[in-house]
Every structure is written in structure tokens, then in C-alpha cells.
Amino acid sequence: MPNEESTIELIWGINAIARLIGRTDRQAFHMVSTGQLPAKKVGGRWVAERSKLIAFFMDDAA
């Protein structure tokens, strides 16, 4: 049985990323395309690891 902490939850698509970070699709697209957010383009879609997005904002706020 895999360790729950090692499970990677991926957020697929600009819309889902935008909802998670509380931004519009346009704002989220700008942030990922300019490298401001930890995301990658896979098969034409943006994908981000949920924990990395949360950590990014937690580090930013500290």
C-alpha cells in the first residue's frame, strides 16, 4: 500500500489551476507561461502538482 504522503495529485488545465489559486484563467495562464508558477506543459495542456502550488504560495506568504 503506497504511503499517502508520496501520492502526487496533479492539477490538469489552466481552469483547474486558476480555481486552486483563486485567479482568473487569463491570470493563471500568464503566471504559468512566464514561469511564475511551478507548472509544465504536457501534451498541449498545463499541469501542476497540487502540493507544489500550495507550497509556492505558502513560501511566498512567509
pLDDT beyond 70 at 31: yes
CATH number at 30 reads: 1.10.10
Q: What is the pLDDT of residue 8?
A: 85
Averaged pLDDT for residues 33-40: 94
Q: Which domain does 33 fall in, by range?
A: 9-61
Q: Could you tell me the pTM of the whole model?
A: 0.79
Rounded to a whole number of angstroms, the distance between the first and last alpha carbons of the chain is: 35
Domain assignment of residue 1, yes or no = no
In this structure, which long-range contacts are made by residues 58-61, counting pairs with CB atoms below 8 Å and at least 24 apart in sequence?
none
> How many domains is the chain built from?
1
Residue 1: pLDDT band with limits 50, 70, 90: very low
Domain assignment of residue 3, yes or no = no
Averaged pLDDT for residues 41-48: 95
